[in-house]
Amino acid sequence: MSVSRSVRLRVAVLASGRGSNLQAVIDTIEAGQVPAQIVCVISNKRDAVALERARKHGLKDLFVDPRPFAGRPDSREAYDHALLEILQQYEVELVLLAGYMKIVTAVLVNAYANRMMNIHPSLLPSFPGLDVQKKAIDWGCKLAGCTVHFVTEGVDEGPIIIQAAVPILDDDTPETLAARILVQEHKIYPRAVQLFAEGRLQVDGRRVLIDAPKPDGEAIISPS
* Site stretch for ligand GAR (CB under 6 A), options 6-14, 16-24, 29-37, 65-73: 16-24
Total binding residues toward ligand GAR, as defined by CB under 6 A: 14
Cα dihedral: 15, 4, 194, 176 (round 10): -50
**Quick check: 145 binds ligand GAR (CB under 6 A)?**
no
**How far apart are the C-alpha atoms of 200 and 197, rounded to whole Å?**
8
- Asked if residue 120 binds ligand GAR (CB under 6 A), the reply is yes
Edge-first strand listing for the sheet containing 116-120: 61-63, 36-43, 9-14, 94-97, 116-120, 143-150, 160-167, 207-210, 201-204, 220-221
Closest of 216, 134, 127 to residue 177, by C-alpha: 134
> C-alpha distances in angstroms, 55 versus 4, 20, 29, 32, 172?
24, 14, 16, 20, 35
> Hey, is 48 helix, strand or coil?
coil
Does 141 contact ligand GAR by CB under 6 A?
A: no
Least distance (Å) from ligand GAR to the CB of residue 35? 22
Stretch that binds ligand GAR, among 15-23, 70-78, 134-142, 202-210 (CB under 6 A): 15-23
Contact range with ligand GAR by CB under 6 A, out of 12-20, 76-84, 157-165, 191-199: 12-20
Given candidates 17, 35, 66, 159, which one binds ligand GAR under the rule CB under 6 A? 17
The stretch near ligand GAR (CB under 6 A) out of 39-47, 104-112, 113-121, 161-169 is 113-121
Select which of 57, 81, 120, 186 is catalytic.
Answer: 120
Applying the rule CB under 6 A, the residues between 83 and 112 that interact with ligand GAR are 98-99
Q: Which of 61, 93, 172, 185 binds ligand GAR (CB under 6 A)?
A: 185
| Whether 120 is catalytic | yes
- Cα gap 201→198, rounded to integer Å: 8
Among 64, 87, 119, 148, contact with ligand GAR (rule: CB under 6 A):
119
Residue 152 has a CB neighbour count (10 Å cut-off) of 19
Under 8 Å between Cβ of 221 and 201: yes
Catalytic residues: 120
